Amino acid sequence: MLRRGLIVLALCGAFALIVLLRLPFCPMAGILGVPCPGCGLTRATLALLRGDLRGALHLHPLVLVLAPIFIWATTSAALSYVRGPHPSANLKPWLASRLATVLAFTLLAATLGVWGARFGGYFGGPAPVETFHDWARSHADAAIASQLRR
């Protein structure tokens, strides 16, 4: 259990470092320069935590729905992983219900619908993205400028 807990802490630390460095970690945005359906969600959640509701909704219109679900799901998965396998633990009955399936499909359809609408200019247009190349270039330029000022 301790080993699993340390693995989860290491992953949380890596995620925090990615966020602090503002490293683009969406493969679709980072490589292709095209926002994925969830692009902007991390930045929107951080804006929401700072109390910037307008900025959060601009970055991702579904942040008020998707962020709590994502936080619940990742926290639940991390806790289950740390606790380890339980032979008697079956899939929660409500999670396998028809209602959960309909809600998940509806949420998926809404997410894809918002994604498509943003490409059409709605909801503030596509989420702004930065490719890995752009990120590396901007950080290299900043490092060079810092060296020149010395």
On the 0-12 / 13-18 / 19+ scale of CB atoms within 10 A, 59 is buried
pTM to 2 decimal places:
0.80
Q: Any idea where the domains of the chain sit in the sequence?
A: 2-149
pLDDT digits (tens, 9 = 90+) for 84-123: 877 555 556 777 788 989 999 999 999 999 999 999 999 8
Can you tell me the mean pLDDT for 54-60?
94
d(CA 37, CA 28): 10
Task: Name residues whose C-beta falls within 8 Å of residue 41's C-beta, 6 or more positions apart in sequence.
Answer: 59, 60, 62, 63, 66, 67, 70
